[in-house]
């Protein structure tokens, strides 16, 4: 009897989907690419920024806690608003403060009583009174609603700067007759101090105001009319910030444009360093044709020719 032939069974296995987990290596590479692009854009932005911004960014990485004296310390917010204002930047700050006053609707009626000028001491902001008392009531050291609105607007802008501020109070020559123990000296000082307190509550830093001065009627705005209301005023002086390596005022006297002392005699030492001045050697160069000159020697007594 013939044996039955068993059929041949062929099993075909199909591979479906992805054979296995490929891992997340591509994510690491993509993250590195994005980081490199971000670093590139930051470098391009720094290259196109001003020198002050570059120093500010460098100062932050040098001293991020802001305990040193670098220009980048104490930055608040973004942009260059918190950078120190130097002599060349005062006109821009003047325009910015004037625009801030215009943008405040409540100050539109009294904008003529606000005078901003660039002086040798800094940017001077004067709040000039009228007969009705625009910023302070007659004989009162407390600011009015107009005065509070204006001081708040100024405090918001000045508080962004590291520049120091001086507050001054002035009165006219009319004697203060309401009290016998109170005069224009106390009134002018109290008004300047009240302006300081209000501004520090609205944005000016605690250590930003360096002086509060009361002048009474000793520094009149209109000396020909000492009792005129325009002599009553509050003055804010935003002081200049000295540029690094570029002394201003008296410190710049006797120095050249490159910040070096003027050249004097060869070999003359710099003051305070004990080193010879730049560009001069310790000893003068000898000429190859120079002859050696010996001073005449004094002959001993008793051997004259």
Give 194-224 pLDDT, tens digit per residue. Answer: 999 999 999 999 899 999 999 999 999 999 9
Residues 227 and 96 in one domain: yes
User: Which of 239, 254, 275 is the last residue in one of the domains?
Assistant: 239
CATH of the domain at 124: 3.30.1330.60
What pLDDT does residue 85 have?
61
What are the percentages of helix, strand and coil residues in the chain, rounded to 5?
A: 35, 10, 55
Residue 14 within any structural domain of the chain:
no
Does residue 299 have a pLDDT over 70? no
**Number of structural domains the chain divides into:** 2
Does residue 149 have a pLDDT over 70? yes
Residues 70 and 99 in one domain: no
| pLDDT band at residue 1 using 50, 70 and 90 as cut-offs | low
Residue 244 within any structural domain of the chain:
no
Residues 37 and 111 in one domain: no
| Residues contacting residue 134 through CB under 8 Å, at least 6 positions apart | 110, 113, 127, 128, 144, 146, 147
Residues 110 and 141 in one domain: yes
Residues 47 and 99 in one domain: no
| Residues contacting residue 15 through CB under 8 Å, at least 6 positions apart | none
Residues 54 and 187 in one domain: no
Q: Which domain holds residue 121?
A: 87-239
Residue 206 within any structural domain of the chain:
yes
Residues 224 and 110 in one domain: yes
Residues 134 and 231 in one domain: yes
Mean pLDDT, to the nearest integer, of 26-33?
91
Residue 235 within any structural domain of the chain:
yes
The number of angstroms, rounded, from the C-alpha of 22 to the middle of its chain's C-alpha atoms is 55
| Residues contacting residue 25 through CB under 8 Å, at least 6 positions apart | none
Residues 204 and 174 in one domain: yes
Residue 287 within any structural domain of the chain:
no
Nearest to 114 by CA among 103, 102, 123, 125: 125
- Among 31-45, 110-124, 246-260, the range scoring the smallest mean pLDDT is 246-260
What pLDDT does residue 80 have?
38
Residue 257 within any structural domain of the chain:
no
- Among 9-23, 127-141, 211-225, the range scoring the smallest mean pLDDT is 9-23
Computed over every residue of the chain, the mean pLDDT equals 74
Does residue 166 have a pLDDT over 90? yes
Does residue 268 have a pLDDT over 60? no
| Paired residues of 114 in beta bridges | 127
- For residues 36 and 252, the model is more confident at 36
What pLDDT does residue 214 have?
95
Residue 278 within any structural domain of the chain:
no
What pLDDT does residue 171 have?
93
- The count of C-alpha atoms lying within 13 angstroms of the C-alpha of 241, restricted to the half-sphere facing its C-beta, is 19
């Amino acid at each position: 009897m013939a044996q039955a032939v068993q059929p041949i069974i062929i099993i075909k296995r199909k591979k479906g989907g992805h054979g296995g987990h490929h891992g997340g290596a591509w994510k690491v590479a993509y993250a590195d690419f994005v980081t490199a692009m971000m670093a590139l854009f930051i470098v391009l932005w720094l290259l196109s920024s001003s020198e002050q911004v570059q120093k500010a960014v460098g100062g932050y990485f040098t001293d991020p806690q802001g305990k040193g004296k670098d220009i980048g310390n104490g930055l608040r917010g973004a942009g260059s608003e918190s950078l120190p204002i130097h002599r060349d930047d005062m006109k821009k700050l003047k325009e910015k403060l004037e625009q801030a006053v215009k943008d405040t609707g409540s100050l539109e009626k009294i904008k003529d009583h606000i005078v901003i000028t660039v002086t040798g001491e800094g940017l001077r902001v004067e709040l000039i009174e009228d007969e009705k008392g625009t910023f302070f009531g007659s004989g009162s050291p407390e600011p009015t609603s107009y005065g509070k609105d204006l001081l708040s607007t100024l405090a918001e802008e000045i508080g962004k700067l590291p520049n120091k501020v001086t507050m001054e109070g002035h009165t006219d020559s009319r004697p203060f007759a309401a009290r016998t123990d109170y005069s224009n000296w106390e009134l002018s000082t109290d008004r300047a101090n009240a302006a300081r307190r209000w501004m520090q509550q609205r944005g000016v830093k605690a250590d930003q105001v360096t002086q509060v001065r009361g002048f009474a009627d000793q520094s009149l705005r209109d000396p020909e009319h000492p009792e005129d209301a325009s002599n009553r005023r509050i003055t804010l002086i935003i002081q200049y910030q000295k540029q690094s390596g570029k002394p201003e005022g008296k410190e710049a006297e006797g120095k050249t444009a490159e910040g070096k002392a003027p050249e004097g005699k060869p070999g003359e030492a710099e003051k305070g360093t004990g080193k010879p001045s730049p560009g001069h050697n310790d000893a003068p160069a000898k000429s190859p044709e120079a002859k050696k000159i010996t001073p005449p020697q004094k002959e001993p007594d008793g051997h004259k020719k």
